Amino acid sequence: MSRIYNYLVETEHENFRLDRFVDEQHVPGQPNQLSRSAIQKLVRGGAVTVNGKSAKPGHKLRAGDQISLTIPNGSVMESIQPNHIPLDILYEDSVLIVVNKPADMLVHPAGGVNTGTLVNALLAHCGVLAQIGGAERPGIVHRLDKNTSGVLVAAKTGRAHRHLSAQFEAHTTVREYLAVACGVPKSESGTINAPIRRSRRDPRKMTVSVEAGRHAVTHYRALEIFGKFSLIQLNLETGRLHQIRVHLSHIGFPVAGDAVYGGGRRRALHNAHSPALAEAFAKLNRQALHARTLGFNHPESGEKLTFSAPMPIDMQRVVDALRT
């Protein structure tokens, strides 16, 4: 059975766009966790009305307008259930939460996986997340690959979500990663400026494309050199899907353990210079990539916040073996 929500436009929302108004209605008990794009689709499909009549997403509202939102039965938002999964919380307040995501955890439901994700865990911990964000990823502002560990921020309110998203889009956030790479860069530090697009041969992969790619910039610095491996610090200027993994592979130094972009376990084990290192790589079972630091301005106070998470045990074990 479809669910229907009715709203009255107050004076403070005079001249708001219809899609923006619906996006901001986060009333406790009403699970409106639709993304702006999803809302626009509902509006165009007639599921959102103004005074009983269909309207366009950009329709300007007047005080006193009656808005009706109909959410069809079986929508994705109804299928995401809270899972009580322990979280490594670095910071939390009334509008956002910062966590240290473990490896081997999806950020949000995808590809038929609807449980065990970070979103499921966040919904159980902060139920208010069900009120905001996209239907498939409520509260999620940015993402980390399933097998990448590290710092991630999620929003609890629509205002916080928009503010944080704007910072990521404007590239004003600080995003620092650590990676163990196969090989040694020719220069100790540098910048990789190479546009990225989805691969035409394999839609699950990204690739560098000067002609059709989106602007992507990664700054890197080699922290330690270990013969056939390097410990590299990376700072993202942009945030494309798989950006670090694609960029390091592009310059010939893929992330160790990355089976998709050339640094897979077989290569890592072949270049391991000791039994201890081989054992460490065998236990890693993922790409050696960790989001160590995230910095942004608080969406309410404007205060500059910076959070860091130590390298996880599986990756630290590899670095320790390299050092010895």
For the annotated catalytic residues, the residue numbers are 145
| R_g of the chain, CA atoms, integer Å | 22
Q: Are 148 and 294 in contact (CB under 8 A)?
A: no
Cβ count within 10 A of residue 313? 9
Cα–Cα dist 73/77, whole Å: 10
Cα–Cα dist 256/269, whole Å: 10
User: Which helix (H) or strand (E) element contains residue 152?
Assistant: strand 149-155
Nearest residue to 220 via CA among 258, 265, 250: 250
Residues 6+ apart with CB under 8 A from 116: 83, 85, 105, 106
Nearest residue to 140 via CA among 115, 161, 126: 161
Residues 6+ apart with CB under 8 A from 6: 66, 67, 68, 69
Sign of the C-alpha dihedral computed for residues 141, 146, 114 and 207 taken in this order: positive
3-state SS assignment for residue 36: helix
Sign of the C-alpha dihedral computed for residues 268, 274, 279 and 284 taken in this order: negative
